[in-house]
Every structure is written in structure tokens, then in C-alpha cells.
A and B are shown apart, each in its own frame.
Chain A
Amino acid sequence: MMRRRVSWAPAAFLSPPVTWLVVFFVLPMLVVVLYSVWQTVDFKLLRSFTLANYVNLTKPLYLTTFIRTIRISLLVMVFSALIGFPVAYFLARKVRRFRTVLLVLVILPLWTSYLVRTFAWMLILGTNGVVNYTLRGVGLIDAPLTWLLYSDFAVTIALVHIYMPFMVLPLYAVLEKLDGRLLEASADLGAPAWRTFLHVTLPLSLPGLATGCLFVFIPSMGAFVTPELLGGTRSIMTGSIIAQQFGVAFEYPFGSAMALALMAVILAVASVTLRYAKPRGVRT
């Protein structure tokens, strides 16, 4: 079919959004890179190249926090996958009539404020909170558990609560498209259920799993509100430290360097994960 070449159309449509993205996303990121090699001395910006900020990052305090942040983010990712996979599988392959309703319900909390969801866990895990009240009421404990709140545990469980739906969505998308005949064929050939899962379902759902892992890992790494409210002094994450640098500390260069280090870890994990995110066909 003959189509007239409209050469100005791409520019007309794409200029506004691309300009906005370049000016308000790309350029700010470049400023962060720039700041990371400058320094503030006596609350004044010193515009000379220095790697002092990056050297400063290797101090034990910051390294420990970094490692804790990566550890928590990986835990959140793994728990989200373990909790979310059965749900995605159930909705994609075992439900017909209420499928859309249930899927919408799973996604719904995603659109609520993560501040409110974090706040909810403050109520649940506190010394007088729901969990402690129930455990004491049933008689399982005498004194309230103090490690529930202001700990790695609190931050982890809240982050799982907040980001787990991000895992269900791509998994659902992939599992829904899975050809059921492949699973039937595997069963017909004598494979027990766990074998079919391990050798057929799991490999084929890898793209969805990879995407889901990324969608959970990335925001966890950058978490700021949740560790701030639920972590106390025991469970500080890098996000909180970065935020401090851009607050009263007025240490934009150091904060920028730390932010870039965080992004570097995210990019490293993303590049590995995205290799699995490409949809694979069935090898015949």
C-alpha cells in the first residue's frame, strides 16, 4: 500500500516529550554527575575536579549501610518472587471468571500512597501494635517484642508489602501466555509436577520473573521513606543518608557521589537481569 512520507510528523510528535525528558531528566542526572566530582567547603560549592567524594564513600559507615541496603533489597526481591509467583500462577492458569477482578485487586494497593502503607506497618509492628497485642493476648509472649519495629525486619516486610504487586504483574503476563499444551505434554511424558515446574514452567516464565525482580529491586534500593520511618537507628539504608546530604547537611557533591554509586549497583544488576528478560520462544 502506498503511503505518503510525512517526514515532519516524528519531530512534531516527539519533540515536546523528548525535550521535556532531556531537560528535566537527562540534564539533572548530568548535573548530579558533575556535582559528584566537585566539593562543598564551608557550605560553598568548590567547582574543581576531585574524587574525594568517591574516596569518602569507602568509609566503613557508608560501606556497611550500602551492604545492608543491597542485602535488604535482595531479600525483598526474593521474598516478593516466592510470595508472588504462586499468586501469578494461580491467577494466570487456574482462574477463569474472577481473573480480572482479582488481578485488579492485587494491583490496587500499588496506586495507594507508599507513605500510608509504611505508616500502616508502624501501627502493626509497634510495641502496642496489632502483632504484639495478639501475641500477648493469646499468651505466646509476656513482654512485647521490640525487634518488630525499627529493625531490618520491619523495613523488609514493609518493602515486600509495598512492592510485591510489581512482581505479580509481569509474571502474570508471561504465565498467561504460556502454552498449556507444553505442560500437558510434560505430564504425559511422565514428569511429576515439580519436574514440570522446574524444567518447563520456570524457564519459560523467566522473562516475567526477571522483569518483576527488577521492578522490586530498584525501588527497594532507593527506599527512603520506609527505612526512615521503620528502620530507626539500627536499620539505616543508603537512601536516608543520600537524603540527608541534600537536606541540612548541604553536601550535594557527596550525596551525588553516593547516589551515583547506588545507580551503578542498580545498573549492574539490571544489565544482568535484563539478559533474562528477553522473551524466549520454545525450542523445538
Chain B
Amino acid sequence: MSTLATERVAVTATAPRARTRMRAGRLAAWLLAGWTALVFVFLFAPLVVVVVFSFNNSEISTFPMRGFTLDWYRKLAGDAQIREALTNSLIVAAVTVVLATTLGVLAAVGIHRYTTRLRAAVNALAMLPMMTPRLILGIALLSFYSFLQVDLSLVTVVVGHVIIGLPYVVLIVSARLVGFDRSLEEAARDLGASTWVVFREITLPLLKPAIIGGALIVFTLSFDEVVVSFFTTGTANTLPMAIWSMLRFGITPKINALASLTLLLSMIVALLAELIIRRTTAREGAPRPH
């Protein structure tokens, strides 16, 4: 809208009612800013509480704090079950990322580059798992496995995580695809390149930030997922499930420590993903061939 200079001219040149309106507008802006600040406190304060108490030298996570300690983190490192759960979570997340990203990219490119008639239908199908509560996804898969008498294992967990992550990849990659103009791909096609070559040499490199960003998002979604894992796992535990069962027995600061670490991991991964997805979209103008 108006820059500061234009505003100054406008203020001196306008009628009193317009000036009052401008002052009211500025008050509104400050009120909105204050509200937003409060909302940020609301969003992050609980997370800060979790982290702060993980250093509390006391069994009970309550005020006043009885001193600073790293004991709970040490206890975590020594817990074999936690280490096993962590390994399981990482394996599941890694496999989920590979599968969900591949399927998601294929879906997004298929929908936005090679389909016209079925586009809305396939897009809707791809988005449906995102619009379904995780609980329903979990029990549906459990029923499915029970019906087919398939044993539950980390494999069945991965399947569920892929269903969760796929729509996010489709969303992120589609956003980038739609923004890009097709002339590069069409030029390559006119020069005789096959569909596969166009996809591999033109489309994929252009989509790289979206693919990496989507992969990171899928990783953090899978790593943090507890409900679907709960219903589709056999005897193996993932890290969120370990936290969940620890919580059933009562709150100990060891949970704080574990929770703090998972918070840290999720936020770093998510931040990376956001930076990769956003920065390149803003920076690039028209796609340049290399």
C-alpha cells in the first residue's frame, strides 16, 4: 500500500477525519501485533515448560525448581529400550521418506502434467488421508491386516506412515509444479526428448527444493507419529510409543528429557524444510536451463 513518504504527504494533505482514520488504523495495527505476540507465547510457552523441567533436579516436574541437572539426559542415554525405540523410529522414518516422496512426486507430476480428465478425482484421492483423523487411519489399517491375517510389524507401521505423508508431498510438490511454466518441458519434448527424459532431466531438477522439503516434512511426521504406529505395530516400539507407555505410568523428568530431544529434532528438521521450500521459490524467477 502506501509508503512512509506517501503517508506523510497524505496526512498533511487530507481532511481531519481521514487523519483520525489513519491513527485508528495504526492503533489497530498495534493491537493486532500485541495479540499475535500473545498467541506466539501461547504456542511456544508449553514447549518451553517441557524443556525447562527436563533440567530440574527433582522427581516431580513442579515449581520451584530444585537445581539444574543433566541426569535425566544421562539416564536416557543409558536406557536400552529407548535406544531400541529410537533405532526403530529412525528406520521407519527413513523407509517412509523414500516411499512417500517417490509416490508423492509421481502423483503430483502425474496429476499436474499428464492428466486432464481424472485430475480432480486423483487429486482428491491423494488428499483424502490428510482429511481423515489419524485414529481412523490406524483402525482401518488394523482391520485390514486382521482381515487378511497379516502379522503386524514395523513394515505395517511404515505402510501407515506412508499413507499419512503422501498427501503432504503431493501438496508441496504440486505447489511448485503449478507455479512453474511448462515451456521448458515442452521445448525439450519438441526437441525429441522422451517423456522419461523430460521428467528426469527437466522436471525433477526443477522440483528439487520441493522434493527435499517434502521429504523432510515426511520424516518429521513419521518420527512423531504415535496413533497410527500404536495400532499397526506388532511387538516393536517406536520412540513416540515409548513416550506414550512411559506416560501411562506417570510423569517423570526422563520423559521431559526425551520429549525435549524429540522437540528439538522435529523443529530443526521442520525449519530446514521450510527454509528450503520457501527460499528458492522466492529467489528464482523464470527457470533457467543448465
Interface digits, A235-272 against B, CB 8 Å rule (1 contact, 0 not)? 00001001100100000100110010011001000100
With the chains together, A164 CA to B35 CA distance in Å? 14
Residues of A within 8 A of B81 (CB): none
B52 CB to nearest A CB, Å: 9
Q: Are A18 and B122 in contact (CB under 8 A)?
A: yes
| Selected contact of B195 from candidates A9, A16, A111, CB within 8 Å | A9
With the chains together, A6 CA to B140 CA distance in Å? 37
Which B residues, 93 to 115, have Cβ-Cβ distances below 8 Å to chain A?
102-104, 106-107, 109-111, 113-115
Q: Are B136 and A113 in contact (CB under 8 A)?
A: no
Cβ-based interface call for B125 (8 A): yes
B144 CB to nearest A CB, Å: 4
With the chains together, A263 CA to B43 CA distance in Å? 29
A115 with B244: in contact, given A14-B122, A105-B40, A107-B274 (CB under 8 Å)?
yes
Interface digits, B27-49 against A, CB 8 Å rule (1 contact, 0 not)? 01100110110011011101101
A108 with B21: in contact, given A31-B143, A86-B36, A246-B139 (CB under 8 Å)?
no
Cβ-based interface call for A116 (8 A): yes
Q: Are B226 and A14 in contact (CB under 8 A)?
A: no
Q: Are A124 and B114 in contact (CB under 8 A)?
A: no
Cβ-based interface call for A74 (8 A): no
Q: Are A112 and B166 in contact (CB under 8 A)?
A: no
With the chains together, A137 CA to B64 CA distance in Å? 10
Residues of B within 8 A of A106 (CB): 39-40, 43
Cβ-based interface call for B63 (8 A): yes
Residues of B within 8 A of A16 (CB): 102-103, 106
With the chains together, A111 CA to B159 CA distance in Å? 20
Residues of B within 8 A of A108 (CB): 267, 270-271, 274
B20 CB to nearest A CB, Å: 11
Q: Are B29 and A120 in contact (CB under 8 A)?
A: no
Q: Are A219 and B133 in contact (CB under 8 A)?
A: yes
Q: Are A219 and B134 in contact (CB under 8 A)?
A: yes
Interface digits, B180-222 against A, CB 8 Å rule (1 contact, 0 not)? 0000001001100001000000000000000000000100110
With the chains together, A87 CA to B31 CA distance in Å? 11
Residues of A within 8 A of B21 (CB): 187
Q: Are A113 and B62 in contact (CB under 8 A)?
A: no
Q: Are A113 and B240 in contact (CB under 8 A)?
A: yes
Residues of B within 8 A of A13 (CB): 106-107, 109-110, 113-114
Interface residues on B, range: 35 or more
A112 with B47: in contact, given A119-B247, A259-B139 (CB under 8 Å)?
yes
A113 with B262: in contact, given A221-B133, A225-B244, A262-B136 (CB under 8 Å)?
yes
Interface digits, A177-207 against B, CB 8 Å rule (1 contact, 0 not)? 0001000100100000100000000000000
Cβ-based interface call for B120 (8 A): no
Residues of B within 8 A of A161 (CB): 42-43, 46
A31 with B144: in contact, given A219-B133, A222-B134 (CB under 8 Å)?
yes
Cβ-based interface call for A150 (8 A): no
Q: Are A31 and B140 in contact (CB under 8 A)?
A: yes
Cβ-based interface call for A66 (8 A): no
Cβ-based interface call for A90 (8 A): yes
Residues of A within 8 A of B271 (CB): 104, 108
Cβ-based interface call for A153 (8 A): no
B212 CB to nearest A CB, Å: 15
Residues of A within 8 A of B177 (CB): none
Cβ-based interface call for A56 (8 A): no
Cβ-based interface call for B70 (8 A): no
Residues of B within 8 A of A252 (CB): 142-143, 146
With the chains together, A219 CA to B137 CA distance in Å? 11
Residues of A within 8 A of B35 (CB): 86-87, 90
Residues of B within 8 A of A180 (CB): 1
Residues of B within 8 A of A239 (CB): 133, 135
A166 CB to nearest B CB, Å: 11
Q: Are A122 and B103 in contact (CB under 8 A)?
A: no
Residues of A within 8 A of B115 (CB): 10, 14
With the chains together, A94 CA to B26 CA distance in Å? 10
Cβ-based interface call for A229 (8 A): yes
Q: Are A116 and B243 in contact (CB under 8 A)?
A: yes
For B225, the closest partner residue in chain A by CB is A113
With the chains together, A123 CA to B266 CA distance in Å? 20
A229 CB to nearest B CB, Å: 6
Q: List 5 A-B contacts (CB under 8 A).
A: A10-B118, A20-B103, A21-B128, A119-B243, A259-B136
The 3 A-B pairs of least Cβ separation, nearest first, read A222-B133, A13-B110, A120-B46
Q: Which residues of A contact B (CB under 8 A)?
A: 1-4, 6, 9-10, 12-14, 16-18, 20-21, 24-29, 31-32, 34-35, 83-84, 86-87, 89-91, 94, 100, 102, 104-117, 119-124, 126, 128-130, 133, 137, 161, 164-165, 180, 184, 187, 193, 214, 218-219, 221-225, 229, 239, 242-243, 246, 252, 255-256, 259, 262-263, 266, 270
